[in-house]
Structure 1
Amino acid sequence: MGERRAGLVLSYLALRRSVGVIGLALPLTLAVGGLVVDGSGLHPTISDYYYSGMRDVLVGSLCAMAVFLASYRYDRPDAVAGTVAGLAAVGVALFPSTPAGASGGVDPVGVVHLICAATFFLTLAWFCLALFTRTHPDLPPTARKRQRNAVYRVCGATILISVALAAVTGALPDDGWMAAVHPVFYLESLAVIAFGVAWFVKGETILTD
């Protein structure tokens, strides 16, 4: 029984680290890969890489993340949140964003993409702010646990603020400055990296007891 429990703990740690690695690596991989494969600069958003030579990397990373999240069964609330985030990640991958510069009214597929992306990020923030910060009701948190909780809260707040700013920025009129600065890409990247850091810490790669 003890060996089985130890094996489950190691499996969950590996799962958390895997999610963290994807989150940390994805923005840089897309940016550098797009430059190498397409010879282009940054795209306006992470989702816009669907229309580049990095599409398979984007879709593959999202699907891998979806599998890891949907497989996360640490506790019932975690399982529910993981399933929601996993399904949302699949939605982001399978329903691409509206191409930049597209016209012709509302794009239903693009709307589904936005809903899935919002659900994905909000669920990841919920992981950071509510699920990862839980402590044992009968045991006081260790100094390391308090440090980890501080990291989780910063990551959760970073996700929420970055996504909110990205939504506001994306709704602003584009006079050419967005194409030059790419603020939405950087804000989305910050949110993805923040969630990657949180899962990396949860995987006890750093700040271990």
Structure 2
Amino acid sequence: MPQRNLNPNLVISYHSMRQSIGWLGLSLPFLLLVGNYIINEYNLLNNDTFVMTQCNVYTADTSFKSSISHYYYTTVGGLFTGVLSAVALFMFSYRGYPQRDEEIVPSDSFMTNLAGICALGVAIFPTSSYNCLSDNVRTFISSETMGYVHYMFAGFFFITLSLISIFNFRRTAKVEDFGKMPSHNFYKYCGIVMLVCISLILIYSVWLENDYPELDSYNITFILETFALIAFGLSWLKKGRIDSN
């Protein structure tokens, strides 16, 4: 982002926005896993201090879900949708570099707006599940149709984030300096990690999941999504770092 003649406080706020996006993405899988584990381990939703247990029956399921999206149906579903909504709002507020005549890649704001739309789509349209998910005070029965919509938004979300890291984050004030800064390789590798993770999730979901059901116990999708989110978070944290000088 060009920063000439900008109020230093505005520059700091802009870096803070990038870091906020990074921390939200980086922490999401761990917040969901730990939060759901604490609620299940201590049986909090069968404690009349927190819930009118005579009205609802809550049976804790495994805290380690097959994918991050499955936490939508759990006791931390509000955290899942809340973090994604916050990421979307930050994305909508982001501006960055415009698209210049010599460039093919769209402007930073176009790409982040697209990522924001996809993040909201992931939050609004829940993933599907073969089973009835009951480890909440509410029982959900997922929809296969909504699941396909969710997969589409989730796929485009990660693809857009990877493209932002590979192309948009490597822009500079001078077009000819694209990819030449010391930090640019880091952004490129983060984007590649995201693309590799999404490709492996696709391969697993389409060709391996049904033929090798024993792999389900390894939570492969969750692990790959976590690596992708770590790469996403680190990329934005790096972009949001303010040099001491």
| Band of TM-score, shorter chain | 0.7 to 0.9
What residue identity is the alignment partner of 1:63?
A: S
Gaps of 5+ in 1: none
Q: Matched residues, percent identical?
A: 32
Q: What is the SS of the residue equivalent to 1:132? A: helix
Q: Counterpart in 2 of 1:78?
A: 108
Verify the 8 A CA contact 1:38 1:52 in the aligned structure 2: no
Q: Which has the larger radius of gyration?
A: 2
Is the 8 Å Cα contact of residues 81 and 123 (structure 1) preserved in structure 2? yes
Moved more, 73-82 or 121-130: 73-82
Matches of 2:179 and 2:169, distance apart in 1:
14
Match of 2:200 in 1: 165
TM-score normalized by the length of structure 1: 0.88
Aligned partner of 1:38 in structure 2 is: 40
- Note the C-alpha offset of 1:138: 7.3
Unmatched segments (≥5 aa) in structure 2: 42-61, 99-106, 133-142
CA deviation profile, 1:153-203 (whole Å, cap 9, x unmatched): 110000000011011112221644233210110000100110000000000
- For residue 12 of structure 1, what is the aligned residue in structure 2? 14
Aligned partner of 1:93 among 91, 114, 123:
123
- In 2 relative to 1, CA 101–21 (structure 1 residues): closer, same or farther, beyond 3 Å? same
What is the RMSD of the two structures over their aligned residues, measured on CA atoms? 2.5
Would the alpha carbon gap of residues 4 and 130 (structure 1) be closer, same or farther in structure 2, given more than 3 Å must change? Answer: closer
More helix by share: 1
Structure 2 letter corresponding to 1:15: M
In structure 2, distance between residues paired with 1:122 and 1:91: 14
Residue 142 of structure 1 and its aligned partner are, at CA, apart by: 11
SS in structure 1 at match of 2:82:
helix
Where does residue 69 of structure 2 map in the other structure? 47
Supply the AA of the counterpart residue of 2:194.
Answer: I
Partner in structure 2 of residue 184 of structure 1: 221
Quick one: which of 93, 100, 121 aligns to 2:158? Answer: 121
User: TM-score under structure 2 normalisation?
Assistant: 0.75
Work out the CA distance in 1 between the residues paired with 2:88 and 2:160: 12
The residue type paired with residue 74 of structure 1 is: G
The DSSP-based 3-state class of the residue aligned with 1:159 is: helix
1:189-204 paired onto structure 2 within 5 Å: 189-204=226-241
- Out of 51, 66, 83, the position equivalent to 1:61 is 83
Could you tell me whether the CA contact under 8 Å between 1:155 and 1:194 is conserved in 2?
yes
1:149 is matched with which residue? 184
Relative to structure 1, is the Cα distance of residues 170 and 101 closer, same or farther in structure 2, using a 3 angstrom cutoff? farther
Is the CA contact (8 Å cut-off) linking 2:95 and 2:108 kept in structure 1? yes
User: For residue 23 of structure 1, what is the aligned residue in structure 2?
Assistant: 25
Between the two proteins, the alignment pairs up a number of residues equal to: 203
